[in-house]
Protein backbone atom coordinates (compact mmCIF):
# COMPACT_ATOMS: atom_id res chain seq x y z
CA UNK A 1 0.00 0.00 0.00
CA UNK A 2 1.74 3.11 -1.21
CA UNK A 3 1.24 6.61 0.07
CA UNK A 4 1.96 9.88 -1.72
CA UNK A 5 5.44 11.29 -1.33
CA UNK A 6 4.13 14.84 -1.37
CA UNK A 7 1.81 16.60 1.02
CA UNK A 8 -1.45 18.16 0.02
CA UNK A 9 -2.33 21.70 0.93
CA UNK A 10 -4.38 21.97 4.13
CA UNK A 11 -7.92 20.72 3.56
CA UNK A 12 -10.34 23.38 4.75
CA UNK A 13 -13.11 21.28 6.21
CA UNK A 14 -14.81 21.51 9.59
CA UNK A 15 -12.61 18.71 10.96
CA UNK A 16 -9.30 19.93 9.57
CA UNK A 17 -9.70 23.69 9.68
CA UNK A 18 -6.36 25.39 10.35
CA UNK A 19 -4.52 22.06 10.22
CA UNK A 20 -2.17 20.56 7.66
CA UNK A 21 -3.05 17.04 6.61
CA UNK A 22 -0.79 14.34 5.20
CA UNK A 23 -2.89 12.52 2.59
CA UNK A 24 -2.41 9.16 0.90
CA UNK A 25 -3.15 7.81 -2.55
CA UNK A 26 -5.20 4.74 -1.75
CA UNK A 27 -8.25 4.35 0.46
CA UNK A 28 -6.32 2.21 2.93
CA UNK A 29 -6.78 3.34 6.50
CA UNK A 30 -4.05 3.92 9.02
CA UNK A 31 -4.28 2.15 12.39
CA UNK A 32 -6.93 3.47 14.74
CA UNK A 33 -5.68 6.72 16.23
CA UNK A 34 -2.58 6.86 14.02
CA UNK A 35 -3.81 9.56 11.63
CA UNK A 36 -3.37 12.16 14.37
CA UNK A 37 0.40 11.63 14.21
CA UNK A 38 0.48 12.92 10.63
CA UNK A 39 -1.68 16.00 11.21
CA UNK A 40 -0.50 19.34 12.53
CA UNK A 41 -2.60 21.21 15.08
CA UNK A 42 -2.79 24.73 16.46
CA UNK A 43 -2.16 24.77 20.23
CA UNK A 44 -3.27 27.50 22.63
CA UNK A 45 -1.45 30.80 22.27
CA UNK A 46 1.97 30.89 24.02
CA UNK A 47 1.68 27.22 25.08
CA UNK A 48 4.92 26.56 23.18
CA UNK A 49 6.91 28.62 25.71
CA UNK A 50 6.61 25.91 28.37
CA UNK A 51 8.44 23.44 26.11
CA UNK A 52 11.82 24.98 26.98
CA UNK A 53 11.38 24.37 30.71
CA UNK A 54 13.75 21.46 31.52
CA UNK A 55 11.13 19.16 33.09
CA UNK A 56 8.85 19.51 30.07
CA UNK A 57 11.68 19.25 27.52
CA UNK A 58 12.98 16.07 29.16
CA UNK A 59 9.49 14.58 29.37
CA UNK A 60 8.75 15.47 25.75
CA UNK A 61 11.94 13.69 24.69
CA UNK A 62 10.97 10.59 26.68
CA UNK A 63 7.46 10.68 25.22
CA UNK A 64 8.77 10.92 21.65
CA UNK A 65 11.09 7.96 22.17
CA UNK A 66 8.18 6.00 23.64
CA UNK A 67 6.07 6.86 20.60
CA UNK A 68 8.76 5.58 18.22
CA UNK A 69 8.95 2.37 20.27
CA UNK A 70 5.19 1.89 20.24
CA UNK A 71 3.18 -0.68 18.29
CA UNK A 72 1.14 2.16 16.77
CA UNK A 73 4.27 3.70 15.24
CA UNK A 74 5.49 0.32 14.00
CA UNK A 75 2.17 -0.32 12.28
CA UNK A 76 2.06 3.19 10.81
CA UNK A 77 5.54 2.64 9.39
CA UNK A 78 4.60 -0.76 7.98
CA UNK A 79 1.44 0.53 6.27
CA UNK A 80 2.43 4.06 5.26
CA UNK A 81 6.15 3.57 4.71
CA UNK A 82 9.37 4.97 6.15
CA UNK A 83 8.96 8.48 4.76
CA UNK A 84 5.58 8.81 6.44
CA UNK A 85 7.10 7.46 9.67
CA UNK A 86 9.78 10.16 9.44
CA UNK A 87 7.05 12.76 9.01
CA UNK A 88 5.21 11.33 12.03
CA UNK A 89 8.29 11.80 14.23
CA UNK A 90 8.38 15.51 13.42
CA UNK A 91 4.61 16.03 13.59
CA UNK A 92 4.35 14.30 16.98
CA UNK A 93 7.34 16.30 18.24
CA UNK A 94 5.47 19.46 17.21
CA UNK A 95 2.36 18.24 19.02
CA UNK A 96 4.32 17.48 22.19
CA UNK A 97 6.02 20.89 22.20
CA UNK A 98 2.88 22.84 21.20
CA UNK A 99 4.45 23.81 17.88
CA UNK A 100 7.71 25.02 19.38
CA UNK A 101 9.67 24.28 16.21
CA UNK A 102 13.17 24.50 17.69
CA UNK A 103 12.28 22.26 20.64
CA UNK A 104 10.54 19.82 18.29
CA UNK A 105 13.64 19.54 16.09
CA UNK A 106 15.86 19.08 19.14
CA UNK A 107 13.84 16.18 20.59
CA UNK A 108 13.42 14.67 17.10
CA UNK A 109 17.21 14.64 16.86
CA UNK A 110 17.78 13.02 20.25
CA UNK A 111 14.97 10.51 19.69
CA UNK A 112 16.68 9.47 16.43
CA UNK A 113 20.08 8.67 17.97
CA UNK A 114 21.03 5.15 16.92
CA UNK A 115 23.97 4.75 19.30
CA UNK A 116 23.84 4.48 23.09
CA UNK A 117 27.51 5.41 23.44
CA UNK A 118 30.06 7.30 21.38
CA UNK A 119 33.62 5.97 21.84
CA UNK A 120 36.29 8.69 21.65
CA UNK A 121 39.82 7.97 20.43
CA UNK A 122 42.19 8.65 23.29
CA UNK A 123 45.80 7.41 23.59
CA UNK A 124 45.67 7.37 27.39
CA UNK A 125 42.36 5.75 28.36
CA UNK A 126 39.04 4.57 26.98
CA UNK A 127 36.36 7.27 26.89
CA UNK A 128 32.72 6.76 25.94
CA UNK A 129 30.01 9.39 26.05
CA UNK A 130 26.42 8.22 26.69
CA UNK A 131 23.74 9.39 24.26
CA UNK A 132 20.78 7.68 25.90
CA UNK A 133 19.57 6.73 29.35
CA UNK A 134 17.40 3.92 27.96
CA UNK A 135 17.80 0.34 29.06
CA UNK A 136 19.37 -1.99 26.52
CA UNK A 137 15.96 -3.50 25.71
CA UNK A 138 14.34 -0.06 25.31
CA UNK A 139 17.17 1.15 23.10
CA UNK A 140 17.09 -1.91 20.84
CA UNK A 141 13.31 -1.67 20.44
CA UNK A 142 13.39 2.02 19.53
CA UNK A 143 16.17 1.78 16.95
CA UNK A 144 14.48 -1.25 15.37
CA UNK A 145 11.47 1.01 14.72
CA UNK A 146 13.42 3.95 13.26
CA UNK A 147 12.70 4.61 9.57
CA UNK A 148 15.61 3.09 7.66
CA UNK A 149 14.75 3.08 3.95
CA UNK A 150 14.47 6.76 3.09
CA UNK A 151 16.26 6.83 -0.27
CA UNK A 152 16.32 4.81 -3.45
CA UNK A 153 19.95 3.95 -2.63
CA UNK A 154 19.34 3.08 1.04
CA UNK A 155 21.05 -0.22 1.95
CA UNK A 156 18.51 -3.04 1.90
CA UNK A 157 19.35 -4.05 5.45
CA UNK A 158 17.45 -3.69 8.69
CA UNK A 159 19.54 -0.71 9.77
CA UNK A 160 19.52 0.84 6.29
CA UNK A 161 19.80 4.62 6.57
CA UNK A 162 18.34 5.04 10.04
CA UNK A 163 21.47 6.95 11.07
CA UNK A 164 20.56 9.65 8.54
CA UNK A 165 17.63 10.80 10.69
CA UNK A 166 19.89 12.30 13.36
CA UNK A 167 21.91 14.07 10.65
CA UNK A 168 18.76 15.43 9.01
CA UNK A 169 16.98 16.64 12.15
CA UNK A 170 20.18 17.85 13.80
CA UNK A 171 21.09 19.98 10.79
CA UNK A 172 17.54 21.28 10.58
CA UNK A 173 17.73 22.31 14.25
CA UNK A 174 21.01 24.20 13.81
CA UNK A 175 19.79 25.90 10.64
CA UNK A 176 16.51 26.89 12.25
CA UNK A 177 18.00 28.42 15.41
CA UNK A 178 20.72 30.29 13.49
CA UNK A 179 18.48 31.12 10.51
CA UNK A 180 21.35 30.14 8.24
CA UNK A 181 21.90 27.00 6.11
CA UNK A 182 25.58 27.90 5.97
CA UNK A 183 25.92 27.37 9.74
CA UNK A 184 24.40 23.92 9.47
CA UNK A 185 26.66 23.17 6.50
CA UNK A 186 29.83 24.14 8.35
CA UNK A 187 28.81 22.22 11.48
CA UNK A 188 27.92 19.15 9.42
CA UNK A 189 31.33 19.17 7.72
CA UNK A 190 33.01 19.66 11.09
CA UNK A 191 31.14 16.67 12.54
CA UNK A 192 32.06 14.45 9.58
CA UNK A 193 35.75 15.36 9.75
CA UNK A 194 35.74 15.06 13.53
CA UNK A 195 33.96 11.71 13.39
CA UNK A 196 36.67 10.26 11.18
CA UNK A 197 39.46 11.71 13.30
CA UNK A 198 38.19 11.18 16.84
CA UNK A 199 35.30 8.68 16.89
CA UNK A 200 36.15 5.00 17.01
CA UNK A 201 34.50 3.41 13.97
CA UNK A 202 33.66 6.81 12.50
CA UNK A 203 34.10 7.68 8.83
CA UNK A 204 33.65 10.71 6.59
CA UNK A 205 30.49 9.77 4.68
CA UNK A 206 29.20 11.77 1.71
CA UNK A 207 25.73 10.30 2.25
CA UNK A 208 25.72 11.74 5.77
CA UNK A 209 26.53 15.13 4.26
CA UNK A 210 23.63 14.70 1.84
CA UNK A 211 21.26 14.17 4.78
CA UNK A 212 22.83 17.19 6.50
CA UNK A 213 22.14 19.40 3.47
CA UNK A 214 18.60 18.17 3.12
CA UNK A 215 18.03 18.90 6.80
CA UNK A 216 19.43 22.39 6.32
CA UNK A 217 16.90 23.13 3.60
CA UNK A 218 14.12 21.71 5.77
CA UNK A 219 15.16 23.87 8.72
CA UNK A 220 15.45 26.95 6.50
CA UNK A 221 11.95 26.38 5.13
CA UNK A 222 10.54 26.01 8.64
CA UNK A 223 11.38 29.67 9.24
CA UNK A 224 8.42 30.58 7.05
CA UNK A 225 6.28 27.44 7.29
CA UNK A 226 6.66 25.29 10.39
CA UNK A 227 3.97 22.90 9.14
CA UNK A 228 6.18 21.43 6.44
CA UNK A 229 6.82 17.70 6.21
CA UNK A 230 10.48 16.60 6.32
CA UNK A 231 10.08 13.80 3.75
CA UNK A 232 9.61 16.47 1.06
CA UNK A 233 13.30 17.27 1.31
CA UNK A 234 14.73 13.77 0.91
CA UNK A 235 14.99 14.31 -2.85
CA UNK A 236 16.71 17.69 -2.54
CA UNK A 237 20.03 17.79 -4.41
CA UNK A 238 22.50 20.56 -3.61
CA UNK A 239 23.04 22.90 -6.54
CA UNK A 240 25.52 25.24 -4.90
CA UNK A 241 22.89 27.94 -4.43
CA UNK A 242 20.70 27.85 -1.37
CA UNK A 243 17.06 28.38 -2.43
CA UNK A 244 14.81 30.61 -0.43
CA UNK A 245 12.05 29.08 1.75
CA UNK A 246 9.45 30.58 -0.60
CA UNK A 247 11.08 28.89 -3.61
CA UNK A 248 11.16 25.52 -1.85
CA UNK A 249 7.52 25.90 -0.81
CA UNK A 250 6.46 26.67 -4.40
CA UNK A 251 8.47 23.76 -5.83
CA UNK A 252 6.72 21.30 -3.52
SS3 of 114, please?
A: coil
Q: Which distant-in-sequence residues (6+ apart) come within 8 Å of 251 by Cβ?
A: 243
Q: Which distant-in-sequence residues (6+ apart) come within 8 Å of 29 by Cβ?
A: none
Alpha-carbon distances of 130 from 114, 116, 134, 135, rounded to whole Å: 12, 6, 10, 12
pLDDT at 188 over 70: no
SS3 of 243, please?
A: coil
**pLDDT class of 49 with cuts at 50, 70, 90:** confident
Pairing of strands 117-120, 127-130: antiparallel
Using an 8 Å Cβ cutoff, are 92 and 234 in contact? Answer: no
Residue 165's pLDDT is what? 96
Residue among 89, 131, 84 nearest 108 (CA): 89
Residue 211's pLDDT is what? 92
CA distance 203 to 201: 7
Alpha-carbon distances of 244 from 22, 97, 105, 145, 154, rounded to whole Å: 23, 26, 20, 33, 28
Predicted structure pTM score = 0.75
User: What is the 3-state composition of the chain as percent helix, strand, coil, each rounded to the nearest 5?
Assistant: 55, 5, 45
**pLDDT class of 114 with cuts at 50, 70, 90:** confident
CA distance 144 to 68: 9
Residue 34's pLDDT is what? 75
Residue 126's pLDDT is what? 62
E strands, the chain, where? 117-120, 127-130
Amino acid sequence: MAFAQTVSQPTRTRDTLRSSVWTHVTSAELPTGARQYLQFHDPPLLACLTSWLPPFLIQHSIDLRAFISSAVFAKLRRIAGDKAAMDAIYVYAMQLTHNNTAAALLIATTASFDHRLVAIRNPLFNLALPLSDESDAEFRLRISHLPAHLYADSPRTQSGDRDKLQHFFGSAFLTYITESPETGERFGEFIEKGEEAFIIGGANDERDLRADRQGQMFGFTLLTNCKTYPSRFLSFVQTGVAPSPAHIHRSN
